[in-house]
Chains A and B, each alone.
Chain A
Amino acid sequence: MAGVSACVPENVVATEEIDLMSEEEAQVFNNTVGIKRRHIAPDSVCASDMCEKAANKLLEELRWEKESIDVLIFESVTGDYKTPPTSCLLQDWLGLPDTTFCLDMPMGCCGCLYAITVGGNLLTTGNVKRALLLIGDTALRMGSMKDKSRVPLFGDCGVAIALEYDVDAPEIVVDFHTLGKGYEALMTPHGGFRHPATPESFIEEDFGNGIVRAPIHTLINGMNVFSFAISKPPRSVEQFMAEENIDRNEDVDYFLIHQANKMIVDRVVKKLKLPVDKVPYNLEEYGNLGGASIPSLMVTRLRDELTTAPQRLMMSSFGLGLSWATMSATLGPMTIPELQYI
């Protein structure tokens, strides 16, 4: 991994500013869920725009010729259009050559680990040398603005990761899992070809507890997601560390846990008995950034460490599908530009 950069919208929304919540509810939310602020893009800004800005800055600091990019992966569930693939638009905007292999991946919160795995494996074939992974979402806009279970959770962000073929690079070890039967816990019921958007897709229903949404909106079944997130991923991390003979206290510099919310991350940390000083958080400032969550930790919390020396990282992400993944990688020193704003 030669570098990573991130871009967030300038607009910051504090929990207290969310109309759906009383002052008291906002305080309770801040203390329990832990997300106090989030950067929210205006409707005119898409994930691709933030990724483009992050990518241009990264390529500039890496001094990579655009002609040298062989692969462009755009990982997002909030692409610009249903068709064409947003990666094709980004190939043009970034001025990449027409030989660029472009691919869209909509894998949600595990998106970064999927993109690294797919991009990395393409590089290992030896046919391509450099890959640009663009990961980002504007997840808030997928849901109802009257859904209190969802609105305060998400922030917007786009990241760019530069991968380069290097015979001497240390191994990246991955472990992926899928629980397809749990797909309804995180989904958008209408708008795909199973249930195309019709007028009834926009009819709102009041589900109580401050949740008003229509079938066109993305939903979260909180209890299902929570029970999944605090059980499957930590168990996999535990098994991963045992199989790879990784001592959590000695062999790992940092554990990067998907920043879903504080309750979940705290629970994962506690279950795995992780040394808390090795677990950076940024959810209080950015919220849940979906697939961009883990790389955003590198930019906002580990920039000094990763730009100066190699760091052994254990990463754990989990999200829609349901899917979850664990990755171990020694990364750095690498190029990490300052956080970009749009």
Chain B
Amino acid sequence: MSNIEKYNNIFVEVFGTEPSVLNESFSKDSVELWDSVHQLNLVSLAEETFDVMLDPEDIMGFTSYAKGKEILINQGVEFD
């Protein structure tokens, strides 16, 4: 499974959504379900999936599909 598939699966698991709806506009502002608990679940799964430990700023900043990807890229995760 590629990293982008793993990343998408995190959102599928947390929000129960279809991978097809995941794009740059999928964010805290556009998704009604996206509250602090969902955000922390996203972060937890991302840390486990990619074996990284995020800083508090990154956890707070994980507010969209796009930003989450950017944070993981900064942690050395490669999305081809």
A residues near B (Cβ < 8 Å) are: 32, 182, 222-224, 226-228, 230-232, 234-235, 238, 263, 267, 270-271
B residues near A (Cβ < 8 Å) are: 36-37, 39-40, 43-44, 47-48, 53-56, 59-60
Partner of A231, one of B36, B37, B39, B54: B54
Q: Is the CB of A271 within 8 A of B56?
A: no
Beyond A226-B40, A227-B56, A234-B53, 10 extra complex contacts between A and B, CB < 8 Å: A223-B60, A224-B56, A226-B36, A230-B43, A230-B44, A231-B56, A263-B40, A270-B44, A270-B48, A271-B47
Q: Is the interface of A mostly helix, strand, loop or mixed?
A: helix
Interchain residue pairs A-B with the least CB separation, the first 8:
A227-B59, A227-B56, A228-B56, A223-B36, A231-B56, A227-B60, A235-B53, A231-B55
Q: Is the CB of B56 within 8 A of A182?
A: yes
A240 to chain B minimum Cβ distance, whole angstroms, is 14
Chain B residues with CB under 8 A of A224: 56, 60
20 A–B contacts from the bound complex (CB under 8 Å): A32-B37, A182-B56, A222-B36, A223-B39, A223-B60, A224-B56, A226-B59, A227-B43, A227-B56, A227-B60, A230-B43, A230-B59, A231-B53, A231-B54, A232-B56, A234-B53, A235-B53, A263-B40, A267-B44, A270-B44
Chain B residues with CB under 8 A of A226: 36, 40, 59
Q: How far is the CA of A235 from the CA of B44 in the complex (A)?
A: 14
Q: How far is the CA of A89 from the CA of B29 in the complex (A)?
A: 53
Which residue of chain A lies nearest to B36 when distances are taken between CB atoms in the complex? A223
Chain B residues with CB under 8 A of A270: 44, 48
Which residue of chain B lies nearest to A222 when distances are taken between CB atoms in the complex? B36
Q: How far is the CA of A223 from the CA of B34 in the complex (A)?
A: 13
Chain B residues with CB under 8 A of A235: 53
B29 to chain A minimum Cβ distance, whole angstroms, is 16
Chain B residues with CB under 8 A of A222: 36
Q: How far is the CA of A234 from the CA of B48 in the complex (A)?
A: 14
Q: How far is the CA of A304 from the CA of B54 in the complex (A)?
A: 38
